[in-house]
Amino acid sequence: MARYVTTDIHGCLLSLRHLIEEKLKLRPQDELYVLGDYVNKGPDSRGVLDYLMQLPERGYRVVCLRGNHDQDLLSAAQGEITLTWGSMNDYKITLGSFGVERPEDIPERYLRWINNLPYQFDIPGFMLVHAGYDFRQPPEQMRQQWHTMLNIKEFVFDASRTGGRRLVHGHVPTPTTTVEAQVKAQKGAIGLDTGCVYRHNPELRHLAALDLDANTLYLQPNIEPDYPIGVRR
């Protein structure tokens, strides 16, 4: 059995499928943890949700967490357009993947699935979350700050507040070379978002997956069809 973690898919369905099926060669006895941001920015948000929703139905052991972009989509469908939704282009490409023009028309089953996603998940040896924690807070408090878990971009990891577990998170696009160095050094906190959706950024444009037990990093290049997105600066 292997335990894998990946994150920040952002509508990149072909890249996700190739990572899982060809690079990881996921088996039913393996465990796959996905740390959020399934939607927005990329070409096929709905396809990513369909794929992840179907994996357990096909007998795979998958746990998906909530990301800030997933929360944004859910909030928009409930009538609250957040400032972090993205550009109008992002808005159109995301809704277009669902075949709708308004977020409130996104089919209920997707909204229900997102609404049921946990913010965090513990497994032996590791804590999993989308963005991270405010480690200045007491452990009980930091693990109830939902907004922070989805949005924090900088923190100082403190192993004394994690019960000795290492932290794996996403959220902040990080050059592949930096992530490779974090994995090699077996850092206490590893950020796995290698900015797959930013296909014009050579230091990013990969979907990363980490084998937690073998400490092996897999990098899948973006193989999506052409879609409009700018260079991340």
The domain 3-221: what is its CATH number?
3.60.21.10
Residue 20: pLDDT above 60? Answer: yes
- Cα(157)–Cα(134) distance, rounded to whole angstroms? 9
Q: CB neighbours of 133 closer than 8 A, spacing ≥ 6?
A: 142, 143, 145, 148, 149, 152, 155, 161, 167
pLDDT band at 66 (very low <50, low <70, confident <90, very high): very high
Share of the chain above pLDDT 90, in %: 90
What pLDDT is stored for residue 83 in this prediction? 55
The H or E element spanning position 191 is strand 189-191
- Determine the Cα–Cα distance for residues 38 and 114; give it in Å rounded to an integer: 10
Find out whether 220 and 206 touch, Cβ atoms under 8 Å: yes
CA distance 114 to 126: 23
pLDDT at 226: 93
- Domains of the chain, residue spans: 3-221
Written as one string, the DSSP assignment of 76-107 is HHTT---TTS--HHHHHHHHHHHT-SSGGGS-
Average pLDDT of 125-130?
98
What global pTM score does this model have? 0.96
| % of the chain beyond a pLDDT of 70 | 97
| Token pair in block for residue 23 | 């690079």
Distance CA 4, CA 1 (A): 10
Distance CA 88, CA 90 (A): 5
At 185, the amino acid letter reads: A
Asked if residue 85 has pLDDT above 70, the reply is no
- What is the per-residue pLDDT for 230? 79
For residue 82, what pLDDT is reported? 65
